[in-house]
Structure 1
Amino acid sequence: MKKLFLPFLATLFFVSESLFVDLWPKNEWYQHYLFAPRFLLIFIIFITVYVAQTYGMVYGFILGMLYDVVYTEILGVYMFSFTLIAYMMAKVMKMFHNHLFVTCFLSMIAVSVLEGYVYGIQLLIGKTDMPLNQFYSYRLLPTLLVNALFLLFFSYPLKQQLLKIERYEREE
């Protein structure tokens, strides 16, 4: 049963992004600003930092492919970026202490990198014509705010659960 807990958490975070957007009140703020909850990316980063680099990359690849199939029209964008960000995060964390604040800060940087990468791909293939300053004001900043609030409330419990999983994996 303990072996299924990490895939269960991954599924929960995968579904939580779309549920969050669907359940968000459609008020004035929602009409003007675009935000993307990146809970799944944050989860992958936390797996990479607190469980194992290989787990983070494998989950990044699989969940990124699933994300591409379910949510986007272009295959490979999230599959590649989730895997690459997990790899880069593992390398960066070797230079820093394994502290929750550092992990949260680097998660916010990873969300920014992902948003910029996806914006660049969309701009390159002509799926968007949003200027960079508008992207920054109406997409990136609201996305960072939503994900920072998520980290504020869920980073510590998530870290504790992943450390339990890591101890279980180490004991086997």
Structure 2
Amino acid sequence: MKKLFLPFLATVFFMSESIFIDLWPKDELYQQYVFVPRFLLIFLIFLTVYVTQTHGMVYGLIFGMLYDIVYTEVLGIYMFSFTLIAYMMAKAMKIFHNHLFITCFLSMMAVSVLEFYVYGIQLLIGKTNMSFHDFYSHRLLPTLVLNVIFIILCSYPLKQWLVKIGRREREE
């Protein structure tokens, strides 16, 4: 039963993004700005840091593929980026201390990298005509604000859960 907690938690974060969007009020602010929850990516970063790099990359690959199938028209964008970002964060944590504040900061960097990557790919293949200024002011900044609020609310309990899981993984 304990082995199923991590996949269950990843599935909850995967589904919580679409649930959040459905529950978000559709007012004037919603029409002007794009708020993109990246709860799954933040979970993957925390998983990579507090459990193992392998867990982060495998879950990034699996849930990135699911993300591509469910949410996008272009397969491979999220599958590749989630896996690569998990790998990059694991390498970055070898340089930095394993501290909650550093993990939160790197998670926000990962959200930024993902947003720029997806915007660049969409621009390259002609799926968007949004200017860089519009992308920055109407999508990137609101997305960062939303995800900072999520990190402030969820980072400590998420870290505690994942540290326990990581400790149990190392004992087995």
For the aligned pair, the TM-score class normalised by the smaller chain equals over 0.9
Mapping for residues 9-24 of structure 1, pairs under 5 Å: 9-24=9-24
Tell me the equivalent position of 1:151: 151
Structure 1 spans left out of the alignment, 5+ residues:
none
What per-residue deviation string (whole Å, max 9, x for no partner) do you get for residues 85-132 of structure 1?
A: 000000000001000000000100000000000000000011000000
2:107 counterpart SS class: helix
Shift of 1:69: 0.3
Map 1:13-162 → 2, pairs under 5 A: 13-162=13-162
Residues 47-88 of structure 1 show CA distances to partners (whole Å, capped at 9, x for unaligned) of 000000000000000000000000000000000000000000
TM-score by length of 2: 0.99
- Distance in 2 (CA, whole Å) between partners of 1:152 and 1:107 is 12
CA deviation after TM superposition for structure 1 residue 166, in Å: 0.6
Counting matched residue pairs gives: 172
Deviation (angstroms), 1:28: 1.4
In the TM superposition, structure 1's runs of 4+ consecutive aligned residues that sit over 3 Å from their partners are: none
SS at structure 1 position matched to 2:95: coil
Q: Which SS does the other structure have where 1:97 is aligned? A: coil
Instruction: Give 5+ residue unaligned stretches, structure 2.
Output: none
Aligned partner of residue 94 in structure 1, secondary structure: helix
The within-5 A match list for 1:158-169 is: 158-169=158-169
Q: Residues of 2 paired with 1:51 and 1:168: CA distance? A: 9
Alpha-carbon distance, 1:148 to partner: 0.3
Please give the root-mean-square deviation of Cα atoms over the aligned residues, in Å: 0.4
Q: Distance in 1 between matches of 2:111 and 2:33?
A: 17
Query: Equivalent pairs: percent with the same residue?
Result: 76
* CA distance, structure 2, for counterparts of residue 158 and residue 36 of structure 1: 20
User: One-letter code of the match for 1:65?
Assistant: M
